[in-house]
Chains A and B, each alone.
Chain A
């Protein structure tokens, strides 16, 4: 053992788990092997560093639970966002869509129902009205019902105005 290099022993198991017999063999060898002595020194420092690294634990902060729950809600909200934004969009445009539908309905009623109603009412009005515009123009020589001619009416008007001026 004295003539065998001890590096393989150092690497086969944790330094702290080496037994007394193994340590004795290592000590005997490094007394005359400079390379293995440096390896042993480094292995000892390594073991200490690893041990210190392992015990240096970090405890959870007081509000870690709250932080995780907030992150969870945020992530769930962002995961649901495409659907929820569509819902919001639908609600926002709901009134507009309803209004547009009502307008279309009203236009349809006006287009298909209102014209025929208007024709009927015009005919009915003509039936009750004896003097249409055409009658007035084309039959202007016909006397009004009160029996006065247009000349008589005009004379009456102008005479009244002249009298008033006088």
Chain B
């Protein structure tokens, strides 16, 4: 609150401190929407520029972290909406590593923990590609609830939606994600 007040009074170093302090949180939130580093950085920068201009509307009722998370969510969704949607992922589009990862999981070790950083990266890339077929809102809800164990209430606070809307979105996103993976696996087995 103090940093916000100082920034409003023209203290540039106070805003620099806000950027330093809350960058990790903004990056973590932006990472839900974007996979590539440059996209996350671009989104995070846009978030802080927007936050600077909207600081007058921040009244200090909630935490600044929460306020910035809401700005990040809205900014990322807007950036995604303005971007062109990618075509559906085909089994033939899978990289060799992604195919190996899927085969490994299909061999009955789906719940096995995998510690290899490289494998995790492959899985994250594949996840991003599969999830890119989902609507932006659905992807965000799915990442927060199923990926980060956020509660329905937390998602509702960040997005400004009602809890029932969050539940409906999560259900729909889960269904679409499962169908997309099922289709991919069927193609994989058929090829």
Q: Which residues of A contact B (CB under 8 A)?
A: 10-12, 14-16, 38-39, 41-61, 64-65, 67-69, 71-72, 75
Q: Which of B48, B143, B147, B185 is A45 in contact with, Cβ under 8 Å?
A: B185
- Residues from chain B with Cβ under 8 Å of A46 in the complex: 130, 174, 177-178, 181
Size range of the chain B interface in the assembly: 35 or more
Q: Which of A16, A53, A68 is B45 in contact with, Cβ under 8 Å?
A: A68
Q: Tell whether, in the assembled complex, residue A55 and residue B110 are in contact, meaning their CB atoms are under 8 Å apart.
A: no
- A interface secondary structure, majority: helix
Tell me the smallest distance from the CB of A92 to a CB of chain B, in Å. 29
Instruction: Mark B26-52 against chain A: 1 for CB-CB distance below 8 A, else 0.
Output: 111011100101001100110011001
Q: Which residues of B contact A (CB under 8 A)?
A: 12, 15-16, 19-20, 23-24, 26-28, 30-32, 35, 37, 40-41, 44-45, 48-49, 52, 102, 105-106, 110-111, 120-121, 123-124, 126-128, 130-131, 142-143, 145-149, 171, 174-175, 177-179, 181-182, 185-186
Between A and B, 22 residue pairs with Cβ closer than 8 Å are A11-B174, A16-B146, A41-B106, A43-B174, A45-B105, A46-B178, A48-B123, A50-B131, A50-B142, A50-B147, A56-B35, A56-B124, A57-B27, A58-B31, A64-B23, A64-B41, A65-B20, A68-B19, A68-B45, A69-B15, A72-B52, A75-B49
Tell me the smallest distance from the CB of A101 to a CB of chain B, in Å. 38
Q: Which of B24, B31, B110 is A56 in contact with, Cβ under 8 Å?
A: B31
- Residues from chain A with Cβ under 8 Å of B175 in the complex: 11
A15 to B111, CA, bound (A): 11
Tell me the smallest distance from the CB of A149 to a CB of chain B, in Å. 98
A16 to B30, CA, bound (A): 24
Q: Tell whether, in the assembled complex, residue B49 and residue A68 are in contact, meaning their CB atoms are under 8 Å apart.
A: yes
- Residues from chain A with Cβ under 8 Å of B142 in the complex: 50
Given contacts A65-B20, A67-B45, contact A38 B182 (CB under 8 A): yes
**Which 8 pairs show the lowest CB-CB distances between chains A and B?**
A54-B147, A53-B127, A49-B127, A56-B124, A42-B182, A52-B123, A60-B23, A14-B146
